[in-house]
Structure 1
Amino acid sequence: MALDYDLIKNWAFADVRQAYTDKDSILYALSIGLGQDPLDPSQLPFVYEAGLKVFPTMAAVLGYPGFWMQDPKAGITWVKLVHGEQRMRFHHPFPAAGEVIGRSRVTHVIDKGSDKGALVVVERKLYNAADDTLLATVEQTTFCRADGGFGQGDEPPEALPKVPAVAPDLVCELPTLPQAALLYRLNADPNPLHVDPAVARQAGYPQPILHGLCTYGVAAHAIVKTLCGYDPERLTCLNTRFSAPFFPGETLAVDMWKGDKGRVQFQARSVERGIVVLSNGIAGIIE
């Protein structure tokens, strides 16, 4: 079925207020691999409450409006949804603990055709509830595979570019824990696809897959480690496309190409399988 453009484009989201503690900030950091070397003084500030820093991609799990596309009133074939892209801009460091307000809106509804589905882009702005400071802007693109053909639609956002067809300037490999998905799901996403082997097999996977946003966070970890000296305030944006599943326990290799004015292109690969799992990546770095 085709979705209702006007209904989806004007979907009303309630503000989401979410309090978080230093333990939440530490759990998020641990779940994307920080603290793997507990003696590394560069990683310790993300996992130790003394002088605690929040890793910026924690924005992914804060102020989320929930699985609204599952609402029958939306008329979306939610069982066929795929997370297509994730884009984030970081405006101000998150306090180690506090309360945020998430304000969401649909910015784009794009018709790919009756046989190709539709894209829905939701923007979420995260504000510090204490002073209304804008902390981060999160844009999530969802591929609605069974809902195209409605005719009316928006022009898509600027496409993320392919990485250069030359060897990368830098490569960072980070191992992930076999229990990485069990940790990450405690942040926000309890989907059984990431924990229950039987559910994973029903979905066509040999084992539970890692959350796409956890893979995204591990890639951000690699970039902040390699290009920012573990200074999270130097990462200004991180955009990428989800290309293939990644399995807990695999090693993520992040290939990086340095450009002008702090612009970095990247992709992320499963070392064990040689498959690109994050493609068309762009990061902004304060040099």
Structure 2
Amino acid sequence: MTQVPIQYDRVLAQTAETLVSWRPEDALLYALAIGMGAENLAYVYERDQRVFPTFAVILAFQGGPLSDLAIDPRFLLHGEHALVLHRPLPVAGKGVVRGLMTGAWDKGAGRGAIFREEKQIVLQGEELPLATITTTSFGRAEGGFGGPREGQPAPHPLPGRAPDAVVHMRTGADQALLYRLCADRNPLHADPKFAREAGFSGPILHGLCTYAICARAVLSHYVGMDGGRLRSHALRFSAPVYPGEVLRVEMWRDGVVISFRALVEDRDTVVVTNGRTELGEPE
């Protein structure tokens, strides 16, 4: 497919449709890849199987309008990710992912650009979406295309008080090798030489794996890992996580909204910030 040059009007006109299907085994693999095990048997065993809610981001990972733009992938960074679940995910299904660009902001020549795309998963034979996923990316080499500099949505603010709860989540030393079987085969997450050439000390964990681990932290502490209670989950990535590191997830509860951030204490580094999860009543 011919890629569209970075011109503001043409960027916002971009749309895309991608067919998607999944089996119960795909959801089981995903649950294992984000660190779940026998302590959460319903998500990793086919009897009375449940689907962990952030599995939706994997279904919408491939394709989309952003991939059809002439953006240099070497300089494209994953900035923010948000999921809204309109109803629980079935253990198997097929349908279409419909995507459109919802914003593009030009930081100026040599300063990069921000791109936001929205994807909706629609099951076969239905009209209303199952889930809506919004991704914000930073193209470090794409500034100067004529888009606006102002108007980008502000991130969710974290409360100024001390955290109401703290949960420690350990990542596995081989977790990126397992997670990459779900969708993202970028060698950055497996090949030490490739990772060093990209400026990292070694392979890094997928951002969307960290995203799911933060959802696990919220659900485990507040609703006993009842994934059916998750209505939305959003965050901003601020630094990479290396497999084997322990995340300190700090959380604030205000009604049905859980704000959060995540740190790697050993490196004194905030890796996730501006997190917001909304919880609902049991289905």
Distance 1:109 1:101, change over 3 A: same
Q: CA deviation at 1:155?
A: 5.3
> 1:200 is matched with which residue?
195
> 2:32 is matched with which residue?
30
**Matching residue within 2, 6, 11 for 2:9:** 6
> 2:210 is matched with which residue?
215
> 1:237 is matched with which residue?
232
User: What amino acid is aligned across from residue 106 of structure 1 in structure 2?
Assistant: M
Distance in 1 between residues matched to 2:20 and 2:64, nearest whole Å: 16
Q: How does 1:59-208 map to 2 (within 5 A)?
A: 59-66=56-63, 69=66, 74-153=69-148, 156-208=151-203
> 2:273 is matched with which residue?
279
In the alignment of these two chains, the number of paired residues is: 277
2:54 counterpart SS class = helix
> 1:50 is matched with which residue?
47
Q: CA deviation at 1:165?
A: 3.4
Distance in 1 between residues matched to 2:67 and 2:278, nearest whole Å: 33
Distance in 1 between residues matched to 2:64 and 2:87, nearest whole Å: 27
Distance in 2 between residues matched to 1:158 and 1:193, nearest whole Å: 29
Distance in 1 between residues matched to 2:194 and 2:251, nearest whole Å: 35
Distance in 1 between residues matched to 2:166 and 2:27, nearest whole Å: 27
Distance in 1 between residues matched to 2:19 and 2:274, nearest whole Å: 32
Q: CA deviation at 1:113?
A: 2.0
2:252 counterpart of 1:257:
yes
Q: CA deviation at 1:116?
A: 2.3
Distance 1:237 1:51, change over 3 A: same
Distance in 2 between residues matched to 1:214 and 1:82, nearest whole Å: 15
User: Equivalent pairs: percent with the same residue?
Assistant: 40
How far does the alpha carbon of each residue in 1:3-62 deviate from its partner, in whole angstroms, 9 at most, with x for none?
31122211231x212211111001111111111xx2x3xx11100111111111111110
Distance in 1 between residues matched to 2:151 and 2:83, nearest whole Å: 17
2:260 counterpart of 1:266:
yes
Distance in 2 between residues matched to 1:181 and 1:58, nearest whole Å: 16
2:267 counterpart SS class = coil
Distance 1:229 1:34, change over 3 A: same
2:25 counterpart SS class = helix
Root mean square deviation, CA, Å: 1.9
TM, length-normalised to structure 2 = 0.92
User: What amino acid is aligned across from residue 262 of structure 2 in structure 1?
Assistant: A
Cα pair 1:181 1:195 within 8 Å, conserved: yes
Distance in 1 between residues matched to 2:9 and 2:155, nearest whole Å: 26
Deviates more, 1:266-275 or 1:167-176: 266-275
User: What amino acid is aligned across from residue 30 of structure 2 in structure 1?
Assistant: Y
- Tell me, which stretches of 5 or more residues in structure 1 are unaligned? none
Distance in 1 between residues matched to 2:83 and 2:66, nearest whole Å: 21
User: What amino acid is aligned across from residue 169 of structure 2 in structure 1?
Assistant: L
2:15 counterpart SS class = coil
Distance in 2 between residues matched to 1:130 and 1:96, nearest whole Å: 17
TM, length-normalised to structure 1 = 0.91
Distance 1:157 1:136, change over 3 A: farther
Cα pair 2:80 2:235 within 8 Å, conserved: yes
